[in-house]
Amino acid sequence: EIVLTQSPGTLSLSPGERAILSCRASQSVITRYLAWYQQKPGQAPRLLIDGASSRATGIPDRFSGSGSGTDFTLTISRLEPEDFAVYYCQQYGRSPLAFGGGTKVEIK
Amino acid sequence: EVHLLESGGGLVQPGGSLRLSCAASGFSFANYAMSWVRQAPGGGLKWVSSIGGSGTATYYADSVKGRFTISRDNSKNTLYLQVNSLRAEDTALYYCAKHPYDTNRASFDYWGQGTLVTVSS
């Protein structure tokens, strides 16, 4: 079973700043089968990044994903007010499907 | 437009049962794998169960195996989750989620708004 560890737990930043979120896997993630989601309070998660680096439909290009093996990163180049939310990574290369514990990006 | 609408949640005593439903629209339902993902109050996301497009292949998290049963009715475009022998730790918002392909080895490209299951005496 792959365990995903996200860091930091909370990221306090100001609008316009860059956010760098980490997701580390306990085993190598097959073929970069890793996704990132955004969840705002009271809402369902929304797919941001698939296949480690491909933006989902309608996702702005300030969101980018990178990484392979056991280390993955979600970067938000310049935070907009609507980007303050919780972000989850998820691996789907091996069963069981697994999510990381989440990183909260809050306004500083 | 893809739309997923869950129902069937509620307050149930420990040991009780519920049947959760997810009505799907806006896509060819039978061509896609579907899953249930839950989120405990204030907690993170946890995968619960998946089913292939034909309904033949099913998968469960160890924590629910033997207690939960996933199924689908492609003629009604509806996904189900029968939840039995409920425990306090099953309390969560249960989301229905669609995969972009007919395999659960994939991301979740669309999510419903969830149905709340509360297990308490």
Which one-letter amino acid corresponds to residue A98? A
Q: Which among B45, B47, B48, B51 is the top mutation candidate for probing chain A, defined by the most A β-carbons within 10 Å of its own β-carbon?
A: B45
Q: Which among A1, A29, A97, A103 is the top mutation candidate for probing chain B, defined by the most B β-carbons within 10 Å of its own β-carbon?
A: A97
Which tens digit of pLDDT belongs to each residue from B79-113? 999 999 999 999 999 999 999 999 999 999 999 99
Position A8 pLDDT exceeds 90: yes
Nearest CA in chain B to A45: B111
Residues of B with CB under 8 A from a CB of A: 35, 44-47, 50, 59, 61-62, 95, 100, 104-114
Which one-letter amino acid corresponds to residue A81? P
Position A31 pLDDT exceeds 90: no
The pair of structure tokens assigned to B77 is 């475009």
What integer pLDDT is reported at residue A96 of this predicted model? 95
As a whole-number percent, the residues of chain A with pLDDT over 70 amount to: 100
SS (H, E, C) chain A: CCCEEEECCEEEECCCCCEEEEEEECCCCHHHCEEEEEECCCCCCEEEEECCCEECCCCCCCEEEEEECCEEEEEECCCCHHHCCEEEEEECCCCCCEECCCEEEEEC
What integer pLDDT is reported at residue A30 of this predicted model? 83
Which one-letter DSSP state was computed for residue B14?
A: T
The pair of structure tokens assigned to B101 is 């392909």
Which tens digit of pLDDT belongs to each residue from B2-13? 999 999 999 999
Chain-wide mean pLDDT for chain A?
97
Please state the rounded mean pLDDT for residues A82-95. 96
How far apart are alpha carbons A11 and A86 in whole angstroms? 10
> Is A97 within 8 Å of B100 when comparing Cβ atoms?
no
Position B34 pLDDT exceeds 90: yes
What integer pLDDT is reported at residue A32 of this predicted model? 87
> Is B107 within 8 Å of A35 when comparing Cβ atoms?
yes
Residues of B whose CB is below 8 A from A47: 107-110
